[in-house]
Structure 1
Amino acid sequence: MGNEREKFSQRLANAMQQAGYEARPKVLFHLFNSHYRGRSVTFQTVSRWLRAGAIPAQDKLQVIADLLGVEPHALRFGSPSRSRVAETRSPWPSGVGSRERQVIDTFLKLSPKKRDLVGDLVRALSDNS
């Protein structure tokens, strides 16, 4: 069972890096809990996922896979599921790190009125006139 957990933690870390996130427990802790609709998980739980101490339950695995743009089956077992057809996601542009993605995730949670306000601010700051 230990070898299975090690392989999972390696796949999880690789998926995080490919999605533009640092493969650190703190990053996954905040990302996961900001999207999971169930009871939040502890930092120690997320740390065990990344350090080969545990494998998340299926509901949590599904959320992680969706956040990282990978197939849950491939994340859990290491081979893509052949029965599921999924839309491919374009990778984030190079240079977009975990901090920028967290800012974007936070922005997307804002009300439309607040999004407009932030958009106006960004346009004002980027105006070179």
Structure 2
Amino acid sequence: MRIGELSARTGASRRSLRYYEQQGLLVSTRSPSGQRCYGDDHVQRVALIQTFLAAGMSSRTILQMVPCMTEPNMDRAQQALTVMNQERTRLSSTIDSLTTARETLERLIDVNLTFLANTADD
């Protein structure tokens, strides 16, 4: 499939797909006329890249995990596992912070609702 179809199937812009390729996160083949060609497996790869980027991972960090996802060997698997564990720890910390912020916000909402309800009675 060409870049336009991959863009349509993944929701990623053509510019993003070119960027992923530039960063080494995505590899295409080229047609005789020089157009990028992608396989069906690229749809899942783009979704994974988008998920990791949305979680705050840098393209550089994702790149450290990519070789293990495509061509695993002992060294790559160990390096990728180290990066993955670091990212899991970072994500867990972020989730904990977000949970605390949400709980605090919920308490403030309750305080304000109670205040408004009591004020309306006056």
TM range (shorter): 0.3 to 0.5
Taking structure 2 as the reference length, what is the TM-score of the superposition?
Answer: 0.39
> More helix by proportion, 1 or 2?
2
Taking structure 1 as the reference length, what is the TM-score of the superposition?
Answer: 0.37
Structure of higher CA gyration radius:
2
Higher relative contact order (CA 8 A, sep 6+): 1
